[in-house]
Amino acid sequence: MIEKAKQFAEKAHQGQKRKNSDTDYIIHPIQVAATLKSAGYREEVICAGYLHDVVEDTMYELADIEREFTKKVRDLVAAHTEDKSKSWQERKQHTVDNVRMGSLEVKCLIVADKLDNLLSLEKDFERDGDALWKHFNAGYLQQKWYNTSIAENMTKGITSGDIPEFFHVYQETVDRFFQK
């Protein structure tokens, strides 16, 4: 099922590029899935890593995810999918709320995604400086609020022994990037 999810995501994101880059978009879901796989998560979570942006950014819908995969994969993707009809602030607050109240698997999917996004943002900032922000719907201060809010809420309801290592990496990345 994991290979099928990767192939589905590759097809769905074909031709898409990352913001502020000519990098193929599929690199991002591949890295998110790799983070989840390295942390030892089960097949459905890794599949959701590949598929997490499919509904948000392509023609596919949640019903397609459920039909091709499982209800569990669909539910994980649904928990991560933003409603693009809402404002940036409303969408991001919804994600912060999902990180605070979600299951460990939902938290992991979101944090793996945000970690990869922030690492990419950090590289882009090193290259472009403040000009980077013109490519985004939100500038430095809004991005700082969003990422620090994710970091502040990601461990809520998790015992310290169950916190994945990549959560610590995300916290370190947030601290490093937004201390500038």
Residue 49: which CATH number?
1.10.3210.10
Contact at 8 Å (CB) between 48 and 76?
A: yes
pLDDT range class, residue 180, cuts 50, 70, 90: low
- Could you report the per-residue pLDDT of 61-97, keeping only the tens digit for each? 999 999 999 999 999 999 999 988 999 999 999 999 9
Cite the active site residues: 56-57
**Residue 49 tokens, joined:** 């890593």
Within the chain, what is the greatest distance between any pair of CA atoms? Answer: 45
Nearest to 69 by CA among 84, 50, 41, 53: 50
- Which of 83 and 106 is assigned the larger pLDDT? 106
Provide the residue range defining the domain that includes 70: 2-177
- What is residue 179's predicted lDDT score, i.e. its pLDDT? 87
Q: How many domains does the chain have?
A: 1
pLDDT over 70 (residue 24): yes
Which of 16-20, 30-34, 87-91 shows the lowest mean pLDDT across its residues?
Answer: 16-20
Percent of the chain with pLDDT over 70: 99
Strand partners, 17: 24
- Could you report the per-residue pLDDT of 116-150, keeping only the tens digit for each? 999 999 998 998 888 888 878 788 999 999 999 99
Task: Tell me how far apart the alpha carbons of residues 159 and 49 are, in angstroms, rounded to a whole number.
Answer: 23
Secondary-structure breakdown of the chain: helix, strand, coil percentages, each rounded to the nearest 5: 70, 0, 25
- What is residue 136's predicted lDDT score, i.e. its pLDDT? 81
